[in-house]
Structure 1
Amino acid sequence: MIALDTNILARFYVDDPGDPEAAKQRPIARRIMTESSSLFVPITVVLELEWVLRAFYRFDASQLVRVFEHLLGLGHVNTEEAERVAAALPLAARGMDFADALHLTGSAHCAVLYTFDDRRFARRAKRLASVPPVRVPDGEPVAETKPS
């Protein structure tokens, strides 16, 4: 099995003809992605790839979802926590930050996800009826059991 770093996936998914280095590396990335029999993508690479595609290449939510659906659909690619990534995609498609969606799907077994600094995350999660709910603690009783 071969593990992949973010830059290999970025070169595979992004055609950047204005960058001579990218033009040279893209065929190599394509060859790795198409000719390797078993590839591994760590969850940290998934998160970094989303950031690179969104922040650097200006992919919108629908483009990001398509990339990750494609990646998850490749039979020879083992993506760490693939079910969690797949569960985060609909939330991201509906406007939730991808990292927040991953935090949320990784916390599905919990009663609540607390955050201090991200009221927007809490509002969006409430609008999307997320499980678990996201709360900004303000002296409320601590929720310790999963709601029924």
Structure 2
Amino acid sequence: MIGLDTNVLVRYFAQDDIAQSKRATALMESLSAEKPGYVSQVALVEVVWVLGRCYGVDRGQMKDIIDSMITTKELVVEGADTVRKALRVFVTSAKADFADCLIERSGHAAECECTVTFDATASKVAGMRLLK
């Protein structure tokens, strides 16, 4: 298994740099169930941020991208079940930030009583508890 950095994943999905996208695609196509690529939750959060902010990828497209990463046998996504649950919250709320959704769902998976925040929006849409 080899780890995949955000920039490799972005080049693969965005296909925006001829040389780097070609190398990223070749690498991604070389992965297999026996030798998969590993996507950390940190890299996944960055991918969502970059694709959304820099490339205008909408929530529906983001869901498709993340779902494809989770379901392909050529990739191992850290905490895939938690990511899947965070993704559900993210796509059902127009204001939810994916990172906030993942932070809250990660806390839940770790059996935290709650996840506290000073972010009022995160407390409303991502299920966190506002710290007053």
TM-score by length of 1: 0.78
Partners of 1:135 and 1:3 in 2: how far apart? 33
Equivalences, count: 125
Give the whole-Å Cα distance in 2 for the aligned partners of 1:42 and 1:110.
Answer: 21
Letter in 1 for 2:112: C
RMSD of aligned C-alpha atoms?
Answer: 1.4
Q: Distance in 2 between matches of 1:104 and 1:4?
A: 24
Where does structure 1 differ by over 3 angstroms across 4 or more consecutive aligned residues? none
- The structure number with the bigger radius of gyration is 1
Map of 2:10 onto structure 1: 10
- Name which of 22, 31, 35 aligns with 2:30: 35
Structure 1 residue ranges without an equivalent (≥5): 17-21, 139-148
Give distance in 1, aligned partners of 2:129 and 2:81. Answer: 24
Counterpart Cα distance in 2 of 1:46 and 1:25: 19
Q: CA deviation at 1:44?
A: 1.1
Helix, strand or coil at the partner of 2:38: strand
User: Matched residues in 2 for 1:119 and 1:47: separation?
Assistant: 20
Aligned counterpart, 2:76: 78
Distance 2:12 2:99 in 1: 22
Counterpart AA for 1:115: T
Aligned to 2:112: 110
Structure 1 residues 2-41: Cα deviation after superposition (integer angstroms, max 9, x where no partner): 111111111111133xxxxx11221211111111232111
Tell me by how many angstroms 1:82 deviates. Answer: 1.2
TM-score, normalised relative to structure 2: 0.87
For 2:62, the equivalent position in structure 1 comes to: 64
